[in-house]
Structure 1
Amino acid sequence: MFIIVQCWYNILEQNKKECSTDQSIKTLEEMMAETMKDAGVTITITSLTDIFAFGIGGITILPGLRHFSITCAIGIAAYEDTSERENGKCFEFSFGNKLIRAFSRTIMHRTFQVIVIIISLILFSFGVWGAFSIRQEFDIKKFMPSSSYFVQWFEIKEKHSVSKGWQSNIYLGRIDPPLDIPKLNSVDEFLQDLLDSKDYIITKEVWWTDFKLYILRDKNVSHWRSTLFKNDSFLFRVHLSDFLYSSIGAQYKVNFRFDTPLRCNQPAPNINAMELSIDFKKFSSLQDHVKARKTIDNAIKAANFSTVSFSHSKIYSIWETEEIIDKLIKKYTIACVNIVLSIGLCVDYSIHIAHFFLCASGDAAERAASSVESIGIAIINGGTTTFMALILLIFSESHIFITFFKAKSKGLTGE
Structure 2
Amino acid sequence: MDALPEVQAAPEMACYELNLLDVWQDNETTIQGLTDEDVIKDVNAANTSATLGFPLDFIGLLGGVQTNAEGLVVEARSALTTILMEVNRTEVDMGDVGTGEGLSEDVDLELYEWEAQFIRVVGNDTGRPEGLNVYLQSARSYGEISGDTIVGDVFYLAVGMLLLFVYVQVMLGKFNLVETRPVLSLLGLVSVGMAVGVSFGLCSAFNVPYGPVHSILPLLMLGLGVDDMFVIVQCWNNLNVAERRKEMKERVGLALRHAGVAITITSLTDFVAFAIGASTVLPALQSFCIYCAIGIIALYVFQATFFVAWFTLDQTRMEKHRNGLLWCYTHKHWTPNACSQKDLCQMFFSEIYSKYLLMKPVKVLVLAVTAAVLGTCIWGVTNLRQEFNPVWFIPESSYLYQFISKVQYYYPESGEKGLVYLGALDYAAELPSISLLEDKMKSSKYISSVDSWYDSLVSYTLDTTGENIEGMAVNASFFGEILTGFLFSGEGGRFQQYFKFENDTIFPEPHVLASKLGYQHTILNTSSQRIAAMDQMKSFVDSANFSGFAAPIAAEYSNWETDKIIAEELIRNLALAMAAVFVMTLLLLASLISSIYVLLCVVLTLVDVMALMTWWGLTIDTVSCINLVLCIGLCVDYSVHIALHFLQIKGSRDERVRVTVKEMGPPVLNGAFSTFLSFILLAGSESHVFESFFKIFFGVFIFGVFHGLVFLPVLLSLIGPAPYSTGSAAPLDSENISSYSSEKMLVINGHSYTQHM
Q: TM-score if structure 2 supplies the norm length?
A: 0.38
Correspondence for 1:348: 641
**Conservation of the 8 A alpha-carbon contact between 2:419 and 2:553:** yes
Residues 282-321 of structure 1, C-alpha deviations (whole Å, 9 max, x = no match) = 76777766654443333222211123323455x3796599
RMSD: 5.6
Cα distance in 2 for residues equivalent to 1:389 and 1:76: 20
Cα distance in 1 for residues equivalent to 2:311 and 2:404: 47
**Conservation of the 8 A alpha-carbon contact between 2:418 and 2:553:** no
1:252 alignment partner AA: F
Cα distance in 2 for residues equivalent to 1:126 and 1:114: 19
The answer on 1:390 being equivalent to 2:643 is: no
* Residue segments in structure 1 that go unaligned for 5+ positions in a row: 13-25, 361-366
The answer on 1:173 being equivalent to 2:424 is: yes
Residues 8-35 of structure 1, C-alpha deviations (whole Å, 9 max, x = no match) = 4xxx8xxxxxxxxxxxxx99769xxxx9
Q: How does 1:9-408 map to 2 (within 5 A)?
A: 43-52=259-268, 61=290, 87=336, 88-90=340-342, 94=347, 96-106=350-360, 111-112=364-365, 114-115=367-368, 118=371, 121-122=374-375, 125=378, 138=390, 141=393, 152-155=398-401, 158=404, 165-177=416-428, 179-194=429-444, 197=445, 199=446, 201-214=447-460, 226=471, 229-230=472-473, 243-244=486-487, 247-256=490-499, 261=506, 271-280=512-521, 292-312=533-553, 315=555, 319=559, 331=573, 333=626, 336-356=629-649, 359-360=650-651, 367-392=652-677, 393-396=679-682, 397=685, 401-406=690-695, 408=697
1:168 alignment partner AA: L
**Alpha-carbon spacing, 1:379–1:257, altered in 2? closer, same or farther (3 Å):** closer
SS in 1 for 2:517: strand
Residues 346-388 of structure 1, C-alpha deviations (whole Å, 9 max, x = no match) = 11112223433xx11xxxxxx2322233332333312321122
Cα distance in 2 for residues equivalent to 1:389 and 1:77: 23
Instruction: Give 1:404 deviation, angstroms.
Output: 3.9
2:516 alignment partner AA: E
**Conservation of the 8 A alpha-carbon contact between 2:642 and 2:661:** no
**Conservation of the 8 A alpha-carbon contact between 1:205 and 1:276:** yes
- The share of aligned pairs that are identical, in percent, is 13
**Conservation of the 8 A alpha-carbon contact between 1:108 and 1:369:** no
**Conservation of the 8 A alpha-carbon contact between 2:537 and 2:552:** yes
SS in 2 for 1:204: strand
**Alpha-carbon spacing, 1:348–1:303, altered in 2? closer, same or farther (3 Å):** same
1:187 alignment partner AA: L
Correspondence for 1:15: none
SS in 2 for 1:310: strand
2:491 alignment partner AA: I
SS in 2 for 1:173: coil
Cα distance in 1 for residues equivalent to 2:307 and 2:259: 21
Instruction: Give 1:218 deviation, angstroms.
Output: 6.6
Cα distance in 1 for residues equivalent to 2:361 and 2:647: 16
1:190 alignment partner AA: K
SS in 2 for 1:170: strand
**Conservation of the 8 A alpha-carbon contact between 1:168 and 1:280:** no
**Conservation of the 8 A alpha-carbon contact between 2:480 and 2:510:** yes
Instruction: Give 1:187 deviation, angstroms.
Output: 0.4
Higher relative contact order (CA 8 A, sep 6+): 1
- The structure where helix makes up a greater share of residues is 1
Correspondence for 1:2: 234
Cα distance in 1 for residues equivalent to 2:536 and 2:510: 32
* Residue segments in structure 2 that go unaligned for 5+ positions in a row: 1-232, 275-287, 325-335, 578-625, 705-757
1:192 alignment partner AA: K
SS in 2 for 1:174: coil
Residues 132-184 of structure 1, C-alpha deviations (whole Å, 9 max, x = no match) = 96766645945xxx59xxx735445546789874453432423253x412211
Cα distance in 2 for residues equivalent to 1:306 and 1:44: 64
2:680 alignment partner AA: I
Q: TM-score if structure 1 supplies the norm length?
A: 0.62
1:2 alignment partner AA: Q
Correspondence for 1:364: none
2:436 alignment partner AA: S
**Conservation of the 8 A alpha-carbon contact between 1:337 and 1:407:** no
SS in 2 for 1:104: coil
SS in 2 for 1:48: helix
**Conservation of the 8 A alpha-carbon contact between 1:186 and 1:303:** yes
**Conservation of the 8 A alpha-carbon contact between 1:394 and 1:402:** no
2:644 alignment partner AA: I
Correspondence for 1:363: none
Cα distance in 2 for residues equivalent to 1:347 and 1:123: 26
Greater displacement, 119-128 / 396-405 = 119-128
SS in 1 for 2:341: coil
SS in 1 for 2:543: helix
Cα distance in 2 for residues equivalent to 1:250 and 1:403: 48
Cα distance in 1 for residues equivalent to 2:420 and 2:255: 68
2:540 alignment partner AA: A
